[in-house]
Chain A
């Protein structure tokens, strides 16, 4: 065996490598179509609206709202047992696209649908940093 259980570390693909590089620099990126303006996540080699391959990276403001969420009371594996109870949510970014993430730095029971959240980053290995979200304190909401 290879020591203590480690959380899952994704392996970037050619079309997602730039996105993961963004995370490493604490920048949440989205693809923007230069032809039709569509913004999308996850990264692809084509625009899902117009099939153009002329896509550019735009930095997301990193803010969004909780579309739906759950509190995991049973970890998926030993590596996640220390986090129980942990929140898994779908977050809709201000720019439109939706992504899965964890909501952290708050009491899981305080998470609610519609809650305003902002991105933060957790380093998981030298290459891989994962975007997570935390509630935006009421005073800072725009």
Chain B
């Protein structure tokens, strides 16, 4: 297989206002994110010849990317609407990078947004997200999305003695970083006790173990490494990309505690020629706190069963061995559904461009971003770097 390593770079990245954004619908947020990313890269829309979007729940379209192209009045030669839940972002960046490396197009805009907070009622948002369950063999039992993930949390606790306090430590770690991020939706510091005292949603998950419901969008501009030097900000190179797909429905998972992050991480590290110890900053998909523990283990940042202690010891703080979810993550920054991972990507780019202000990880040279979609189903890992090799 040909390696993508160092062939493609991100040259623009931006996010919209997040949280409650009632003055923009999902389509407008998607376009606003695109506009901001093009401004960041210093390019005009005529220079975009590839477009990747994901569908919205609040304003769905049959052919979403075509609608966004039409709205922007751009006429790409590569136009794709991707859909793999939280894994969508990195999976579609993987596809777009492949297209650029193969000469299909030169400059790809990846823009994704949704308005789950103000564009849908609470009941609509819950039902829409829970429809990820199997329509015959899961949904009739009334599972919520937190309930699906609670099944995994319980399994990890049973297998490794992981505690509710360790789950809570994940939320606390993210919130510390959100407090330093002016655009984050939730910035007030929380303690482990606050998490444990918050309302039980689906045992053992409390309200503060669950990610936010948000409006928001984010976008990046991707181009070939050769062209990447001509942009205003330091290019961020794609060094590794990998995916792993193990199931769609949690009742069909072959393991509840080991995920396809093992495969996606291995593939990305192998392409990059790097290992977990080489990563300076990580953005790890955190739709619910137990997910982070399983991913940290499966990506090789700690041994199986030890991620709870790892986070509890403060290793994921800005001064820890693996600064993680430095924008606050889905738990504290924002989570507008399928586009959620976009913010991990823009944050990784911001960190590697050394533009993260108070939350900057000093001298960050390499970043790992990991997304998963479904219920621990589709995993995608990217490794990014300031240097091409």
Interface residues of A (CB under 8 A from B): 7-13, 16, 41-42, 67-80, 83, 86, 88-90, 98-102, 113, 124, 130
Q: What's the minimum C-beta distance from B235 to chain A, rounded to whole angstroms?
A: 45
CB A60 to nearest CB in B, in angstroms, measures 14
User: Are B134 and A86 in contact, CB atoms less than 8 angstroms apart?
Assistant: no
Asked if residues A68 and B158 are in contact (CB atoms below 8 Å), the reply is yes
Chain A contacts for B152, CB-based, 8 A: 68
A77 to B201, CA, bound (A): 14
Which residue of B130, B151, B202 is within 8 Å of A73 (Cβ)?
B202
Contact assessment for B256 and A68 in the assembled complex, using a CB-CB cutoff below 8 Å: yes
Contact B140 A99 (CB under 8 A): no
Q: A70-B151, A88-B147, A90-B251 are in contact. Are A8 and B202 (CB under 8 A)?
A: no
Residues of A within 8 A of B130 (CB): 76
Decide yes or no: A69 and B154 within 8 Å by CB, A9-B140, A90-B250 being known contacts: yes
A-B contact pairs, 19 of them (CB 8 A): A8-B139, A10-B140, A42-B136, A67-B155, A68-B158, A69-B151, A69-B154, A70-B202, A72-B147, A72-B202, A73-B200, A76-B127, A76-B130, A77-B126, A86-B142, A99-B137, A99-B251, A124-B140, A130-B140
Question: Cβ of B200: which chain A residues have Cβ within 8 Å of it?
Answer: 71, 73
Interface residues of B in 224-275 (CB under 8 A from A): 250-252, 256
A130 to B205, CA, bound (A): 27
Judging by beta carbons under 8 Å apart, are A98 and B251 in contact?
yes
Fill in one digit per residue for B139-182: 1 if any A CB lies within 8 Å of its CB, else 0: 11111101100111111001000000000000000000000000
B312 on interface, CB distance cutoff 8 Å: no
B207 to chain A, nearest CB (A): 9
Give the complex CA separation of A68 and B147 in angstroms. Answer: 11
Pairs A-B, 8 closest by C-beta atoms: A70-B150, A80-B142, A100-B251, A10-B136, A71-B203, A68-B155, A70-B202, A68-B154
Given known contacts A68-B154, A72-B147, A83 and B142 CB-to-CB distance under 8 angstroms? yes
A34 to nearest B CB, angstroms? 22
For the complex, what is the distance from the CA of A14 to the CA of B147, rounded to whole Å?
A: 29
Across the interface, do A88 and B158 meet the contact criterion of CB distance under 8 Å?
no
* Contacts known (A67-B155, A68-B151, A72-B202); A42 close to B140, Cβ less than 8 A: no
Which residue, of A42, A88, A99, A102, has the highest number of chain B Cβ atoms within 10 A? A88
| Given A10-B140, A88-B142, A73 contacting B154 (CB threshold 8 A) | no
In the complex, what distance in Å separates the CA atom of A79 from the CA atom of B144? 13
| B77 interfacial contact with A, CB 8 Å | no
Say how far B128's CB is from chain A's closest CB, in angstroms: 11
Task: State whether A73 and B199 are in contact (beta carbons under 8 Å apart), knowing that A10-B140, A90-B251 are contacts in the complex.
Answer: yes
Query: Which A residues are in CB contact (< 8 Å) with B103?
Result: none
B136: A residues at CB distance < 8 A? 10-13, 16, 42
CB contacts (< 8 Å) of A8 on chain B: these are: 139-140, 142
